[in-house]
Amino acid sequence: MRVLAEALVLFSVVSVVTPGFQFRSRNISDTTVSKHCSLGEFTSKAECKLLQYQLNCRIGLVNNWLRGIKREITHLRLVDWSGECLNVARLQYHFPELIFLELINSTSLRSFKGHFTALNKIEKLVVHGLEALWEIPPEVMVEMQALREMDLRGNMLRHIKSPLLTKLNKLERVYLAGNSWDCSDGGLDWLAMESENGTIRRKIVDYDDLVCHQQLYRGKPLNKVMDIIRTMRQTCPEPCVCTMTHVVSDPSGAVIPLITVDCSNKDLEVPPATLPPGATTLRLEGNKLNTIRAIVHNPQYRVLTDLYLDNNSISAVKELEGTEWFSNFRVLSLRGNYLKQIPVYAFDKAFQLNNNLMHVFLGDNPWRCDCHYIPRFQSLLLKYRRVIRDLPDIKCSKSTDKKTSLAQISTIPLGNICGDDDVMPITPINIVNLVLLALILLVVGRFLYDWQTFKNTGQLPWLSSVLP
């Protein structure tokens, strides 16, 4: 009975010292317990060397080091780990006194099993050369309260979530350079809301050396991209959503953002008064706007290149005439409004001067179809058919006239518009052309008259006789 009692006491002590793990014989290796993500999976190929308190292992861990608890090891270096998974819970169990842990060139490693508990004593963690690991889940490490330095340089990491850096109270230094960081939403964008002298930024020793690698921001300094994202989020007008769709560099190397402000379907009666610096696209589809006056006269809107005003209640755009924006825009969409006509001459002039022009959309409006307006409007549509992208949808308003009702304006015969009683419109251009034609005919007629007179009488024209 005494022997049995001592055995029970010993069992209780072991259970307290190693919580969370089942008691087992010291002679049973990790391989026999779990074949999936086992530390003993590569014992036959592993090579380990002990130097004082440092254990260096290649490919895997030798079976001898997986028998029981190795309290004498404070520094463990794992090189070329061959598995796709590493069981960190078992690692802590076998090496509970670790202070320094290194994972080097483990190109197959994709995930971790378990997590380090609050009992671990690791102060420095070094992870280099992991090509298959895109992210270290925070739950693996958030309880490492002794961790002071984390070196994650030279991997293929794309994402890192804030708890990995914010929940480690003793963490002093972090190295993150040499990774393929994703600067967009879901990547490192949470860093954008950290102030310039914020706690996390100060911990990232090489913050100014980090580079964005995903397609939109490839090669751009992460710190500059984060500053732009922070400014964008702070200045984005309610209730709109702002997104940095791209960044470019000017000849001096300065990073220039291209930002889309999406205010579509927000029941807005007026456009937002302010826009983030660098806003190039504004989407105002599906609102209750009835004029573009506030857009034209707002200085912040001059930098916009793409403006989408579809499905509003806009009935006139004469305010565009003569504005700087109208000569430099790239995309203008006015589909689904109440437009009956536009200032054709102003549009023609602006389109000729605009070297940035790419797309214009005018469809699904109730266009006026009469002999005074349609010939000029149809001429404009055909002249700029390469940029006016929705010609089939630009139709006459619905009416009782079967010849014009919902007819495509770019293809409608003018005879269907202008009857025998209609007078074709005389535009300023036509008036100038008629005056020039009359002057040319006058000069030619006078020349022929003087030539005939000289031939018959030999008398020079009157103008020649008075010239010195």
Name which residue leads in pLDDT, 449 or 403.
403
Q: Give burial (CB, 10 Å; 0-12/13-18/19+) of 4.
A: exposed
pLDDT tens digit string along 223-237? 888 889 889 999 999
pLDDT tens digit string along 137-162? 999 999 999 999 999 999 999 989 88
The set of long-range contacts for 266-275, using a CB threshold of 8 Å and a minimum separation of 24, is 266/239, 266/240, 270/294, 271/295, 271/298, 271/301, 272/237, 272/240, 273/237, 273/298, 274/235, 274/237, 274/300, 275/235, 275/237, 275/300, 275/301, 275/304
The model carries a pTM of: 0.69
Which residue in 47, 56, 43, 110 sits closest to 83, CA to CA?
110
Assigned CATH topology for domain 249-429: 3.80.10
Percentage, residues of the chain above pLDDT 70:
87
pLDDT tens digit string along 35-45? 479 999 889 99
- Taking only Cα atoms into account, the Rg of the chain, rounded to an integer number of angstroms, comes to 39
Please state which architecture CATH assigns to domain 18-237.
Alpha-Beta Horseshoe (3.80)
For residue 426, what pLDDT band results from cuts at 50, 70 and 90? Answer: low
| Range 216-223 average pLDDT | 88
Identify the pLDDT of residue 449.
77
| Range 236-256 average pLDDT | 87
Identify the pLDDT of residue 9.
36
Q: Helix or strand or coil: residue 132?
A: coil
Strands 306-308 and 359-361: unpaired
Q: Can you give the residue ranges of every domain in the chain?
A: 18-237, 249-429
Q: Mean pLDDT for the chain?
A: 86
Q: Tell me the C-alpha distance between 226 and 243, whole Å.
A: 13
Cβ atoms of 140 and 150 closer than 8 Å: no
pLDDT tens digit string along 353-391? 999 999 999 999 999 999 999 999 999 999 999 999 999
Asked whether this chain's domains 18-237 and 249-429 adopt the same fold, the reply is yes
